[in-house]
A and B are shown apart, each in its own frame.
Chain A
Amino acid sequence: MLRRALRLGLGPGLLGRGLGAHREGSTLDWHGKVSEIKKKIQSVLPGGAWSPLCDTSHLPPEHSDVVIVGGGVLGLSVAYWLKRLEKRQGAIRVLVVERDHTYSQASTVLSVGGIRQQFSLPENIQLSLFSVEFLRNINEYLAVVDDPPLDLQFNPSGYLFLASEEGATIMENNVKVQRQEGAKVCLMSPEQLRKKFPWMNTEGVALASYGLENEGWFDPWCLLQGLRRKVQSMGVLFCHGEVTRFVSSSNHMETAIGEKVTLKRIHEVHVKVDHSQEYQPVECAIVVNAAGAWSGRIAELAGIGKGPSGTLQGTKLPVEPRKRYVYLWHCPQGPGLEAPLVADPSGAYFRREGLGNNYLGGCSPAEVSSVGSGCRGEDRDRVSLSSQASLAGPVLVLMSRSPLALTWGLLPPSTTYQADRLKRPARPGSDVCPGQRKPCPHLCPQEEEPDPGNLEVDHDFFQEKVWPHLAQRVPAFETLKVRRAWAGYYDYNTFDQNGVVGPHPLVVNMYFATGFSGHGLQQAPAVGRAVAEMMLEGHFQTINLSPFLFSRFYLGEKAQEHCII
């Protein structure tokens, strides 16, 4: 208490902001303090080093109610909705900290820009539905006086998911849920597919789901700039810097049943200026972690995950950067204007880009699944696991690191996993997701994941992993020429590939808006609103995102997407 008072008293406030010296304030060293004061007085007097007028415009403000770490589409969306939902205009001071103003590595602008409602979780469908309504009326939401209207370049061409035999039942169930939530999706048989899209080879496809309305792709850069422009006009402060430290205080408390809990509260965010050692401690009330692929690092800075594993303190934020490649190619005889974004059961996807017979596409790397979720692997593995799924009741699933062992009967079930399964009732279909584009890696070693250290493109990946599947699905793609390629990060949630939203149970003033593993852009407007509601009201008002809270990592409750990208 005294320490903090000393720190504040002798801090930048007294002697001007230009000094920026970091105060330790840890020991009550009167002699040292007195000599410091003497030195300062000497520098203030004429002839000294101190000058009263210092330019600190490059530094963020000293106080801010909310600090949003990360200026991508999610961070800006949270800022927008905070300012929109605040009770009185100008009530909340928001600071957005973004370390790269060119957004050269940000997932938002490197994204393919698709939006779909074809998810299996109702929450995801609702998020997407609201987001598409936001995009449709973007010029009402993000209108700024005297600025031109935004043109998102939306292509309402829809998504087409193809499913093989194994995935057909799950796809049917998903479409039922999607229709219930209000998405306009239809199922197509291979016959109908051939009639509608004659350029497609439907071999191996048992069923397809096609989004008729409100699905397609758009320009994410335009959305980002629109949001930026609007939040700046609403008074949100921007800062070009990097968060290097959180200063927090802890409270040791006891729960009603006598368990000891340590609650942390972040008081200051240290924002370091680019290309300099200078930093500014920003006092804040709430921190929003919207740092995308680097959210894990920010969470570590806040002390999340520092504790014995298996406890709530020891539960890390399971978001890590995953590199994904996108290739742009030209194919003169390729699919025409009617081509939707086609997602093959193998995981490869493509969409049309522009009018010049150019196409964009890619594929998620194959992952070796350890739990017998039948995600990616040999076809026969998937067949054997789908027969498992038809068994009634809780399904005993093999746990093994080897794909061969996934075949039923090769290895005895692991006892520890079995015991765990018996504790919690199985959600129907929750363990088998064959034919999924992004397999559910429960605890898998990512042997084939590219190194996320940089954004270099691996062109061999296209030759070996993407092109064969594309050429098999669309024979016209046998002749194509890759024009460009780039790589971007997924803020990949290794737990269940769905977003993390809401406050941390122990670090009480850190809110998450991250971990969307490839579908963050399309859900950003709705997620921003949900997080803003959580911050302002204390609970979700419009869309209930309780399945996406942080506590699920500790409780082990997966909010898993099935069979979907």
Chain B
Amino acid sequence: MAAPGASLRLVAPVWNRGTSGIRGLSRSVDPEGSQRKGRTLLQFLADHFYDVEAVREYLLQKQVLKVLRKNRFQDKEWMRPNGRGLSGELWKLREVPIEAVDASGCAITYQGLDNLLALKELQSLSLQCCPHVDDWCLSRLYQLANSLRELSLAGCPRISERGLACLHHLQNLRRLDISHLPAVSNPGLTQILVEEMLPNCEVLGADWAQGLKLGPEEQSRDTASSPIPA
């Protein structure tokens, strides 16, 4: 997806504890912007109140939605290169290697992935809530193994642990989101196995204890645990 320079590059997002998986979209954080105004005050407040974090998120999300909208529009162009005319801007930027693609909610299929797999410099891919992305599609992602750092598969209804098993090719992956996958039979166990499979990657998804019945003494320990970053 072509866009001028760094503004559309999805930098490693800030993951907040209080958020659930879907809301934790990869978002572009403008480091200079957050440092400029009121960073100290908001930061201070955020450290102490979860609500402020939510407010910050909301503001960031507004910023991001604009980006995402443009993102998706560009994606549509990828999927239908012959149907619509390319905008002039896109044409000028066709030599620019694409670093990030957000295809959330797109009806991208196994064949449609051909377009994405041609992007050999792709670093971040988001396939959240894509209704047709299934295990077969995941088996094609090995072609992006050299460059892909971030992958989000949250909310895809057709992905199961069998497809997740073929993500082991993506050794450069640093962040993987596999939350809210309804077709995965054992989310907690799958999370552990995927973490073992990709030791350098931060895997976000189900808490390992999800699905387990906890005894009363383990309750407090559970709320404090969180995915361990690599």
Contact = CB atoms under 8 A, between A and B. Distances in A.
A156 B197 contact: no
Interface in B8-40: none
Nearest to B158: A151
B185 A355 contact: yes
Q: Is the interface of A mostly helix, strand, loop or mixed?
A: loop
A337 B135 CA distance: 14
Interface string A327-338: 000000000111
Interface string A393-429: 0000000000000000000000000000000000000
Contacts of A136: 110, 136
A135 to B, nearest CB: 9
Given A153-B162, A155-B165, A336 B197 contact: yes
B135 A338 contact: no
A153 B158 CA distance: 11
Given A336-B193, A336-B197, A338-B197, A156 B168 contact: no
A158 B136 CA distance: 12
B186 A355 contact: yes
A156 B189 contact: no
Interface in A138-173: 153-158
B196 A336 contact: yes
B165 A212 contact: no
Contacts of B138: 156
A561 B194 CA distance: 36
Given A156-B163, A337-B165, A337-B168, 16 more contacts: A153-B160, A154-B162, A155-B135, A156-B139, A157-B162, A157-B165, A212-B169, A213-B140, A213-B142, A216-B162, A336-B193, A337-B161, A337-B196, A337-B197, A355-B161, A355-B190
30 contacts: A154-B135, A154-B136, A154-B162, A155-B135, A156-B136, A156-B138, A156-B162, A156-B165, A157-B162, A157-B165, A158-B166, A212-B142, A213-B139, A213-B142, A216-B162, A336-B193, A336-B196, A337-B161, A337-B165, A337-B193, A337-B194, A337-B196, A338-B165, A338-B168, A352-B165, A355-B185, A355-B186, A355-B189, A355-B190, A355-B193
B186 A214 contact: no
A355 B186 CA distance: 8
A373 to B, nearest CB: 35
Contacts of A153: 160, 162
A213 B160 CA distance: 17
Contacts of B165: 155-157, 337-338, 352
Contacts of A154: 135-136, 162
Most buried by B among A154, A157, A355: A355
B164 interface: yes
Contact of B139 (A214, A336, A352): A214
Shortest 6 CB-CB distances between A and B: which pairs?
A156-B139, A338-B168, A337-B165, A155-B162, A337-B193, A337-B197
Interface of A: 136, 153-158, 212-214, 216, 336-338, 352, 355
Contacts of A155: 135, 162, 165
A130 to B, nearest CB: 15
Interface of B: 110, 135-136, 138-140, 142, 160-166, 168-169, 185-186, 189-190, 193-194, 196-197
A212 B139 CA distance: 8
A338 B168 CA distance: 6
B212 to A, nearest CB: 14
A302 B139 CA distance: 46
Contacts of B196: 336-337
Contacts of B164: 337
A156 B135 contact: yes
Contacts of B136: 136, 154, 156
A338 B197 CA distance: 7
A156 B163 CA distance: 7
Contacts of A157: 162, 165-166
Contacts of B197: 336-338
Nearest to A158: B166
Nearest to A136: B136
B36 to A, nearest CB: 44
A338 B190 CA distance: 12
Most buried by B among A156, A157, A214, A352: A156
A509 B230 CA distance: 66
Contacts of B185: 355
A156 B136 CA distance: 7
Contacts of A355: 161, 185-186, 189-190, 193
Nearest to B160: A153
A213 B114 CA distance: 14
Nearest to B142: A212
Nearest to A197: B168
A316 B148 CA distance: 56
A214 B136 CA distance: 8
A447 B220 CA distance: 64
A366 to B, nearest CB: 32
A473 B193 CA distance: 22
B196 to A, nearest CB: 5
A436 B136 CA distance: 30
A17 B138 CA distance: 57
A155 B185 CA distance: 14
A352 B197 CA distance: 14
Nearest to B161: A355
A212 B197 CA distance: 17
A213 B137 CA distance: 10
Nearest to B139: A156
Contacts of B193: 336-337, 355
A338 B162 CA distance: 10
Most buried by A among B136, B160, B186: B136
A213 B163 CA distance: 11
Nearest to A352: B165
Contacts of A156: 135-136, 138-139, 162-163, 165-166
Nearest to B110: A136
Contacts of B110: 136
A216 B169 CA distance: 15
A209 to B, nearest CB: 15
A157 B185 CA distance: 18
Nearest to B138: A156
A208 to B, nearest CB: 15
Contacts of A337: 161, 164-165, 168, 193-194, 196-197
A212 B170 CA distance: 12
A215 B185 CA distance: 22
